[in-house]
Amino acid sequence: MESEEIVELPAVFQSRVSPPDTVNAQQAIPRNLANIILPLLKSPNQGLERYEGYYYRYFYSFGFPGFIFRSFVKIYKSDDIYYMKHIERSSGKNPMLGARLTIKYHGLVFLLADRLFLVESEPELNSTVSETILTPSYRPNNPYLSGLMICASSCSAHQPGAARTMFEYLGKILMCAKR
């Protein structure tokens, strides 16, 4: 930087020091984000087929502090896009939780930089969107994926939080035992 650049008009100085590829203020950021994510969802070589199947998901409950929940997740492919369904149920045996509560989530799954990204929402109450980032394990016969989930609690306070999570792979086909 030269000393005469400091005394230039602010607009001239800004044009000199600004990066050449500045974002046009009229360009819609959500459209740009969609242009990044949509190809990831439809990429035929993303390698998600190895993650199709059923999982138990273990996570810290933001709505009920001090509790670890185990929920049920299915990752599946439909029309060349990977989706997930996630079901949480409270037992109803704990007086703090009250009656049995079932919450169902739906989401999208994509792979980026060797990480699984799960973005899900709860359509019934339409009160939260959460994201989970999982790190795959390449150790043979390891049924676990670990990661981090970021969400707002589904209780009335909707406090945001982040916590570790673990997915335990149950298989591509779920065999239910008759009782």
Greater model confidence, 175 or 89: 89
Identify whether the C-beta of residue 99 lies closer than 8 Å to the C-beta of residue 65.
Answer: no
Could you report how far apart the first and last alpha carbons of the chain are, in Å?
Answer: 78
Q: For the ranges 20-29, 77-86, 141-150, which has the lowest average pLDDT?
A: 20-29
Summary mean pLDDT of the chain: 79
Which residue, 167, 133, 127, 128, is CA-closest to 149? 133
| Residue with tokens 């600004």, as numbered in its chain | 18
Average confidence (pLDDT) over 138-152: 89
Cβ(172)–Cβ(77) below 8 Å: no
Domain 49-171 belongs to what topology?
Lipocalin (2.40.128)
Question: Exposed/middle/buried for 164, CB within 10 Å: 0-12, 13-18, 19+?
Answer: exposed
The tens digit of pLDDT for each residue in 97-120 reads 566 778 888 999 998 888 999 999
Q: Which helix or strand (DSSP H or E) is residue 34 part of?
A: helix 29-42
Q: pTM for this structure?
A: 0.73
Q: Reduced to 3 states, what is the DSSP secondary structure of residue 144?
A: strand
